[in-house]
Structures are given as C-alpha cells and as structure tokens.
Chain A
Amino acid sequence: MSNETNEQPKTDFILSEEQTMLRDTAKQFFSEQVPVANLRKLRDEDSADGIDREVWKQAAELGLAGILIPEAYGGTDFGVTGMGLVMEEAGRTLAATPLFSSSILSTLILLEAGSEDQKQSILPAIAAGEMVVAVALEESGHHNPAAISLSAEKKDGSLVLNGRKTFVLDGHIADKLIIVARSNGQKGDTNGLSLCLVDAHAEGLRVSRSKMVDSRNSSEVTCENLTVTADMIIGTIDEGDAPLESALDHARILLSAEILGGVNEVFERTLEYLKERKQFGVPIGTFQALRHRASAMFSEIEICKAVLTFALSQSDKKSNQIARLASLTKARLGEASTLVSSEGLQMHGGIGMTDDVDIGLFLKRARVQLQLLGDPSFHRERYARLNGY
C-alpha cells in the first residue's frame, strides 16, 4: 500500500479517496486483529513486552508503521491526516502497539532534524516494524519540555548524559532511545536542548519497566555517564528545541486522533446500552435526563471532529498555526474524553464498574492520554500565550 499520487486533500475537512481506503484498511485491521481482547490478554498474562509482536509485524506489513515516512525511506507517505485516521481506529480498540512511540514521536523527530545517514539507517527499519525507537522526554509527573534538565556535558565533541527520565513510552522494548537532554542554558530557556539517539544497550543507560493504569507500556530511564558521540546527535547540539517542539505539536494532534477514536467507541457503546438496557419496564434511553446528556455529548464530539480534522489537514499543509491548533486540539479532545468516558461509565451503571465490561478500560486509557504531552490546563495556558493574552 502506498500513496502514489501523494495528492493533498482539496478541502480542509473532506477525505480523499485514498484516505478513505486507508481508514477502511485500518478499521478492518484493528477490529479483527487487535480487538480490546488483545489488550486484556496482554494485561492478564502479564506480558513481558506489553505488546503483541506478531500483531505489530502484521501492522507493518500493511504499511501502518510507515505512514509518516517518505517512500524513499521505505514508508507509505500518507501524511499526518493518513496517520490520524489510523490512530483513530487504533484508539477504538485500545490497540497496544509502538505506533505512537516509534512511528509517530521518534519518526517525527528524525524527519525534523535527522541527518541523511540517520534517516537512512533508522526510518526503513521503523517502517518495517523491525526497530522500535522510544523518546525519553518527561522528567516529572507533568509534561513540560521547557523544564528539561537531564544534564548533557560537552566533552571532546561528544555529550555525556546524567539524569533520569520518566514515563518513557515503550522504553523497555525499544531498540534505540531518543533522549532529550539539556546541553546549554537552564530550565525555562527556549534553547539549549540536544536530541541524543542512543542504543538501548549502551553503557550507562538503564531502562526499567513501569506499569500504568491503562496497562500500556511505560518505563523509567536512568543515564549515568552515558556517552553520546557526535554522529548520534539528531540535528545540532543545543538546537534541539525547535525540531522537538514541531514534532511534539504534530504528535499532540495525532494523539488527539487516538483520543477521538476512544471517545467515538465509548459513545457508540453507551448509545447501544441506552437502547438495550431496560428499567421501570422501558429502555433507559427514553429518559430525558439521559437523552439530553447524550445529545450534549454528541454535539461536543462533532465539535471535536471539526477541530481535529482541521488540525490534521493544516499539519499536512505545513500551516504556521500548528502550535496553536495542536493546543486547541489536545485541550479540547482531553476535555471531551473526560466527559464521555465518565458519562459513559455513569450511564452503564453498576455493570460499568466491573472489569468484565470494557468501558473501564477506555476510562483508564483516556486518563493516560489526557496527561500525555500536556493536559488541558497546560494546553489552554499555551494557547492563550500563543495568542498573545
């Protein structure tokens, strides 16, 4: 599968034929090969990897791991909108794959700032699903790239890293890590970061798995005198801030697409339940108290779809509004998923509290997605600042 025409959508909101086909492919793949039962199995068996490698191989064979990667580097080049469609479908089934960590976050950083050598040696392997690259970014419980302080000391053209990273997605199954380190300036400066590509088995690097409420992969990373040679720096030393920020904005929008998938799924399941579940001798969906809340949620979801679709199309068009739009989208989708997952659970009543019913799994995933790459407060503050107030 590849997007040979590489045609830009003519409008901001309507999918092209290729994009519709890609969405259908992704929908079929995730619903048949990676249903919610897949995540349950990984959780219940306490899988060491936390992902199903066989499923990931199949995804790569379909071209899903290389959606953002140009054909010259072995990808399918469907653009950000294409990847958004895939993420939405992945979100519907809570698919646990390295799609976000490796095929989005790491890929975007490499595309933004990677050298030709780095791109040639890594991107085809990511697209083929043969290599997982994770990004070690966060240092506290809150997303805050400006506050990064993991130290990178300059020494003979190399950098020596010391410090800790937390909440590193798929860190323990990664073949390589991109560690964001401070090589200049101090917390809060707008430059001084370096993007360091290191081998998972490098001396001085320790990765330990942590467990999250959503049963998805995360890890803690410690660097102790970890040496990063010049050829392993992505972009220029001290100048990693701008490419990182741009990659993060696209990733925030794509993460929002995954959130929308979960929101849609929860809403549809809840709607079915309102039609099926009887109390007082009638379906509970006849009660106006619930009907109104369902309609309000539907309106909110329609608004989210418009915001997300626009943000995706503007990413593909390289709009200079991406930072603003990323914050608008991530904040809006975060708020919507909190609303819909909480209301979905409430409308399911007692049965929604049981582990047998999936609604709780969506609630847990929604909460992790909310924090990932900035919660709504972070993005509202950022949106205001970018707008000058």
Chain B
Amino acid sequence: MSNLETFREETRAWLEENCPASMRTPMPDEEQPWGGRNPSYPNPDTKVWMERMAARGWTAPAWPTEYGGGGLTPEENKILQQELKRINARPCLNSFGIWMLGPALLEFATEEQKQKYLPPIVRGEIRWCQGYSEPGSGSDLAGLQTKAEDMGDHYLVNGQKVWTSYADKADWIFCLVRTDTSVKHEGISFLLIDMETEGVDPRPIKLISGSSPFCETFLTDVKVPKENLVGELNKGWTIAKRLLEHERTMISGMNMGAGEASLGGMEELAKEVFGELDGMIAHPTLRDTVTKHKMDEEAFGLTLRRTGELAKAGHGIGAEASIFKYYGSEMNKRRFEILLELLGTNALTTEGEGHDQDVMDISPQWLRSKANSIEGGTTEIQLNIIAKRVLDLPEGGQA
C-alpha cells in the first residue's frame, strides 16, 4: 500500500474516532467556531472538535510543524479535505489568522515572530482581525492616513480603521499604518496590535442585512512595541498586496452554494416553484436563467482547477486572484438575484405566519452578497489590476 493510501486509512480512522457526531451535522450560524480569548461555544462539541484537530496541527494542515501546523504535503492535505467532506465534518476553526495573516507571517516575519504568533493561531487561542481600510481610503487603500510615530522605544498609533471584520470580538489586529508621510506606497508599514492595548476602541456598524460583522476601529495614542513591526519599515505595501491575494481568493469562494443548499439546489427549487414539463423546469425563461448560472458555476470551477494545476507547474499568469475575485463575486451576486426571482415575495418576507425559515434566511444573504464585489478591492479595482499587471495597458491619469 502506498504512503498516501496508508495516510488516507489512518486519517479516516482517526476522524471516525475523533469527530463528534454533532460536528457532522449542518452548522447553525451561532455555532461557527471562531476561537479566541473569549470564545463562545453554545455547543461544547465545537471546542472538543477544534482542540482535537489543533493538537494534530490540522486546523492549519499545510503549515510547518515547528509552528504547530500539520506539515502535510499538498497531496496529504487534499486527502484530509476529502475525508472531512466524506463525513460532512464542520470546519474545526474559522480564522483570519489561518486564512490571511498566517501565510503573510510565514513569508515575511522573523523567526521570533513566527514562534510567537503562529502556534496560538493554530490552537485557536488568538482571534485576529484586519485593519486596512479607512474612512478616506477605500479603493485608494494606499492613501491610508493612520499614523505610527517612532517614539524611540515604541510606535504611537493614531487614526481610524473601518470595515474591520469582527474587531469587537478579535484579540489582535494586523494593521497597515503610515510611517512616512512624504511618499505614498513606500511610506506604509505592517504592524500587529493587541486589541487590549489602551486606546483601541472598536464599534460595530449596522449593515443593510441587519447584522454587524464589521466595525469601525478607533486608535487613539496607542502604544505599540517596536518588535510588533512585520517586515521592514515602510515595506508594508508588499505584505499588504500579498495578503490581499489571500483575501481575494477567499472571497471568490465565499458563499458558494450556501443559501440554496438548504433549499435543495437552484434547479430543484425552480422545479418545485414552477413545476415540471417532461421532467424539466416548466418556466422556459427562468430555466434558461438557471442554466446560464449553472454553466457559469461549472466553468468557474474548471477555471480554479486549471489555475491550480498551472500554478503547481510554475505557469502562473499573475493576478489570478483578481480574476477569481472579479468573476466569483459577480457570479455570487447573480446567484442570489436568481434565488430571489425563484422565491418571489416569500424570500422578501422577514417574519410571517407559515413562512419557512430557510426561505426567509435568503434575503440577508442576498444583501450580504452585495459586499462581495466591494470588499477586498472592488470589482473595478480588480479590473484595473488585470489591465495593468496582465494586459500591460498604458497608464494615464487615473490609478
């Protein structure tokens, strides 16, 4: 038996033994496993599952073992993911530390910083948030004004961040700060700040969907130790760009298949609502609408696979993340528009006798999806990046 086959057998046996039964059921939103200093575990199995996976480094399976990761090869990691999917296992840990900060630290941080920050991320002990955008710097991110002044033994940080996801629940924030006001991109540094430091004040923002996952975070005379600087002074933009690629890839895959999953798939939903004609969706124009979308999804899935294979073989085209972000987020928005069209006023009802909760859950997700083409760089910014980096079109007045 090959090593990989052995790995699969052992993994399967271990998961059978260690994944609690309730962790193999659909996950209600309040049971999302975010970890952190003040975690919330309405279902105690969530904690058990996270800790068992963390002990093997499988919360971050591909990270090196010296930082607590699983040290798995890409092939082993693929098998682990397949085996997790096979038993419908819930994610063991949601973490911006794993998805976004960790890869940047692995690439840019000192050995000491890696030892300090990575293992608590793997164990789900520290929950991170991202401090990038500012009220005056959205698409023009590099125009950010939050200042970090060198005070000799520390930095003094003053400014305001916005759209900091879950800042009110996070333990630490990774921030872009201005360390040189005389230049733009070359005056930005990457700083890690403990949210418990005096002067850090996150306030939730209420969104059109009714929920408040984002905050505005005020930073007033916050003292940050100098060793919290990642990479070189004034070289933070390089790290920021890399990290944004991770974020864009994450967003392009976000919500895929969510929403309609509980309703049995868009095509089944269409049959249910409009009836069948010879086994096909009876409404001819909506049938075509659904078909176009299903084709988009299959084609986009193949594009992700192709790019993965090309990247592995060293044939990256560059700016892939921007293509995925652009296409994936626009497609996700279309998906919710179609679901609303299929469900009609039932999906627009937020409370009502005899209304199905699964259907009423669609409208907040529809509203949330509108942010997909804004967050992590708008659709327009992605198209700018492709024009500049891939198509090499000449630049004029605008960015």
B-contacting residues of A (Cβ < 8 Å)? 11-14, 271, 274-275, 282-283, 285-288, 291-292, 294-296, 298-299, 302-307, 309-310, 328, 331-332, 377, 380-381, 383-385, 387-389
Question: By the criterion CB–CB under 8 Å, are B396 and A287 in contact?
Answer: yes
A159 to nearest B CB, angstroms?
32
Interface string of B269-284 (1 = CB under 8 A from A): 0110000000111000
A174 to nearest B CB, angstroms?
35
Q: Can you pick out 16 interface pairs between chain A and chain B where the beta carbons lie within 8 Å of each other?
A: A13-B305, A14-B313, A283-B396, A285-B393, A286-B396, A292-B380, A294-B387, A295-B391, A303-B300, A380-B291, A380-B292, A383-B295, A384-B287, A384-B288, A384-B291, A389-B280
Q: A13-B310, A389-B271 are in contact. Are A291 and B299 (CB under 8 A)?
A: no
Question: By the criterion CB–CB under 8 Å, are A285 and B303 in contact?
Answer: no
Q: A302-B303, A389-B280 are in contact. Are A291 and B383 (CB under 8 A)?
A: yes
Q: A305 vs B271: C-alpha distance in the bound complex, in angstroms?
A: 32
Identify the closest chain A residue to B313 (Cβ): A14
Question: By the criterion CB–CB under 8 Å, are A298 and B386 in contact?
Answer: yes
Number of residues on chain B facing chain A (CB within 8 A)? 45
Question: By the criterion CB–CB under 8 Å, are B383 and A295 in contact?
Answer: yes
Question: By the criterion CB–CB under 8 Å, are A295 and B386 in contact?
Answer: yes
Asked if B196 is an interface residue, CB under 8 A from chain A, the answer is no
Q: A377 vs B295: C-alpha distance in the bound complex, in angstroms?
A: 12
Please name 4 further chain A to chain B contacts, defined as beta carbons within 8 Å, in addition to the given A302-B323, A331-B295, A383-B295, sorted by A numbering: A286-B397, A302-B317, A328-B295, A381-B288
A203 to nearest B CB, angstroms?
43
Identify the closest chain B residue to A384 (Cβ): B291
Q: A274 vs B394: C-alpha distance in the bound complex, in angstroms?
A: 9
Q: For A291, give its contact among B300, B302, B326, B387 (CB under 8 Å).
A: B387
Identify the closest chain B residue to A388 (Cβ): B279
Q: A332 vs B292: C-alpha distance in the bound complex, in angstroms?
A: 9
Asked if B9 is an interface residue, CB under 8 A from chain A, the answer is no
Q: A331 vs B271: C-alpha distance in the bound complex, in angstroms?
A: 23
Interface string of B383-399 (1 = CB under 8 A from A): 11011001111111110
Identify the closest chain A residue to B276 (Cβ): A389
B147 to nearest A CB, angstroms?
31
Asked if B290 is an interface residue, CB under 8 A from chain A, the answer is yes
Q: A282 vs B396: C-alpha distance in the bound complex, in angstroms?
A: 8
B306 to nearest A CB, angstroms?
4
Q: A299-B327, A306-B305, A310-B306 are in contact. Are A385 and B280 (CB under 8 A)?
A: yes
Question: By the criterion CB–CB under 8 Å, are A292 and B387 in contact?
Answer: yes
Please classify the interface of chain B as helix (H, G, I), strand (E, B), loop, or mixed, using the class held by over half of its residues: helix
Residues of chain B with a CB closer than 8 A to A384's CB: 280-281, 287-288, 290-291, 294
Q: A12-B309, A307-B302, A384-B280 are in contact. Are A291 and B295 (CB under 8 A)?
A: no
A376 to nearest B CB, angstroms?
9
A-contacting residues of B (Cβ < 8 Å)? 267-268, 270-271, 279-281, 287-288, 290-292, 294-295, 298-300, 302-303, 305-307, 309-310, 313, 315, 317, 323, 326-327, 380, 382-384, 386-387, 390-398
A118 to nearest B CB, angstroms?
37
Residues of chain A with a CB closer than 8 A to B267's CB: 387-389
Q: A13-B309, A384-B280 are in contact. Are A306 and B302 (CB under 8 A)?
A: yes
Identify the closest chain A residue to B292 (Cβ): A380
Question: By the criterion CB–CB under 8 Å, are B393 and A274 in contact?
Answer: yes
Q: A294 vs B302: C-alpha distance in the bound complex, in angstroms?
A: 22
Question: By the criterion CB–CB under 8 Å, are A286 and B384 in contact?
Answer: no
Q: A271-B393, A389-B267 are in contact. Are A303 and B303 (CB under 8 A)?
A: yes
Identify the closest chain B residue to A380 (Cβ): B291
B67 to nearest A CB, angstroms?
31
Q: A298 vs B383: C-alpha distance in the bound complex, in angstroms?
A: 10
Question: By the criterion CB–CB under 8 Å, are A389 and B310 in contact?
Answer: no
A327 to nearest B CB, angstroms?
9
Q: For B306, give its contact among A291, A298, A305 (CB under 8 Å).
A: A305
Identify the closest chain A residue to B399 (Cβ): A288
Identify the closest chain A residue to B384 (Cβ): A291
Question: By the criterion CB–CB under 8 Å, are B309 and A11 in contact?
Answer: yes
Q: For B387, give its contact among A11, A295, A332 (CB under 8 Å).
A: A295
Closest 10 CB pairs of A and B: A286-B396, A295-B386, A291-B387, A389-B267, A306-B306, A295-B383, A306-B303, A285-B393, A384-B291, A13-B306
Q: A305 vs B304: C-alpha distance in the bound complex, in angstroms?
A: 12
B327 to nearest A CB, angstroms?
5
Q: A377 vs B292: C-alpha distance in the bound complex, in angstroms?
A: 10
Q: A159 vs B205: C-alpha distance in the bound complex, in angstroms?
A: 78
Q: A252 vs B305: C-alpha distance in the bound complex, in angstroms?
A: 23
Q: A302 vs B300: C-alpha distance in the bound complex, in angstroms?
A: 10
Residues of chain A with a CB closer than 8 A to B305's CB: 12-13, 306, 310
Q: Which of B323, B393, B395 has the most CB of A within 10 A?
A: B393
A227 to nearest B CB, angstroms?
39
